[in-house]
Amino acid sequence: MIEPVEQITDKSLRRHFGYSLKRAYARVHTAITEELNQLGLKVISYSALSMIVENPGLKQSQLAEALMIERSNLVVIIDDLENKNLIYRAQLPSDRRAYALIPTDEGKALAVRAGDAVADAEAAVFGHFDPALIEQLRPAFDRIWSR
């Protein structure tokens, strides 16, 4: 005889730390996305803009590699930033195949505002974390990535 199940448990999944990580990241990602959305940016376009402001003149292929996305997918992101007058494609005299990506003053200003908005969003999510713990975690997580 098959009976309905009232109380659902997820003990077998909670065993995995990756699930805690996934869900925590989902919260951060949502918070950041909403903040950036108010500034007309997506997470990936904010990342691109920040990198261009920090590394003015870099090429699309360099940016794609740094952001670990495909060159082809970067095109529309750059198009969008350029249409919004946040950056522009400048001709590289040394290589006529490539573009040098340059931020406009407007782009530089927005990068600062967006960076602070992202930091605020993260602070709201991790507010109850000990700052010392965050600084302990950062290199530990970065090591996971860079190996």
Partner DNA sequence: GATAATAGTTATACCGCATAACTATTTAAG
Partner DNA sequence: CTTAAATAGTTATGCGGTATAACTATTATC
Residues within the interface to DNA (CB under 7 A)? 42-44, 59-62, 64, 69-73, 75, 78, 89, 95-99
| Site mask for a second copy (CB under 8 A), range 103-122, x = bound | --------x---x--xx--x
Among a second copy, DNA, none, the one that 125 touches (CB under a kind-dependent 5 to 8 A) is a second copy
CB atoms within 10 A of CB 46: 23
CB of 78 to a second copy, least distance (A): 15
Tokens 């869900």 locate to 23
Q: Radius of gyration (Cα) for the chain, nearest Å?
A: 20
Tokens 């990068």 locate to 111
| Site mask for a second copy (CB under 8 A), range 65-84, x = bound | xx------------------
Among DNA, a second copy, none, the one that 132 touches (CB under a kind-dependent 5 to 8 A) is none
The SS3 of residue 85 is coil
β pairing state of 99-103 and 87-91 = antiparallel
